Amino acid sequence: MDVITWTGELACHLQAAHRMGREEFAGRLGVHPQTVAGWHARPGIVPRSDMQAALDTLYERAPAPVRLRFARLAQPPADTAAQALRVAIAVVLRGAEVLLVQRRDGGDLHWQFPAGVVKPGAEVAAVAVKETRAETGVHCTIRQALGSRLHPTTGVEASYLLCDHLMGEASNLDPAENAEAAFVPVSDLTRFIPPDRIYRPVLDALGVAA
């Protein structure tokens, strides 16, 4: 089996490879057509784990011609083919509060910082700002980069950016992937995300004890 970390873009390529309309493709996956529309609107999004499994199943059951079309559509340009999957993670401060989203993960819910996939040629900072606005409606600006690591849960390269809030209240603009978006007190951060899951430079930047 091919190991694929699905993004909105790859899901759309699978739809195109199957030569299905959005409603038919959504029906095959058992999701609402708005979910598929969201992938078209936000190709950098990483679907939640149960959706990753559904896309895996649809891909695995696809006949050879469909897989071939998918491989051709998903093949990156030669000069970017070796780039590993990378995500930009925005740590957005508003005074003594930090912005979080509650991610749907199968039957579970967990809190995390807003994040988005960095496509080849894209700038990490621009992705962090754009995905934060797309997920939550919050406008922010980059204060400083906090470093990168291989994420302990997803295994992808994660780049962290400390951001300052400019305008906007936290709203859940991506209900297919998230259950809630909220500013929470920095002092309560480890009640939402276990400290061993938070990148140490983030804790240091926020002044949170591990």
Q: Is the pLDDT of residue 113 over 90?
A: yes
Average pLDDT of span 103-127:
87
Average pLDDT of span 71-97:
79
d(CA 59, CA 14): 7
Q: Is the pLDDT of residue 106 over 80?
A: no
pLDDT of residue 55: 93
pLDDT of residue 18: 92
pLDDT of residue 82: 44
pLDDT of residue 76: 66
pLDDT of residue 210: 67
Average pLDDT of span 73-92:
73
H helical segments located in 6-162:
8-18, 22-29, 33-41, 49-60, 64-74, 124-136
Q: How many CB atoms lie within 10 A of CB 109?
A: 12
Could you give phi then psi for residue 101, rounded to 5 degrees?
-125, 145
pLDDT of residue 81: 43
Structure-model confidence comparison of residues 83 and 65, the more confident one: 65
Contact 10, 74 (CB under 8 A): yes
The pLDDT tens digits of the residues spanning 22-81 come to: 899 999 999 888 899 889 888 888 888 888 889 999 999 998 888 888 888 887 655 544
Task: Tell if the pTM clears 0.85, that is, is over it.
Answer: no
Q: How many CB atoms lie within 10 A of CB 182?
A: 17
Contact 187, 121 (CB under 8 A): no
Q: How far apart are the first and last CA of the chain?
A: 39
The pLDDT tens digits of the residues spanning 170-202 come to: 999 988 888 999 999 999 999 999 998 999 999
d(CA 200, CA 210): 8
The pLDDT tens digits of the residues spanning 2-23 come to: 568 899 999 999 999 999 988 9
pLDDT of residue 151: 80
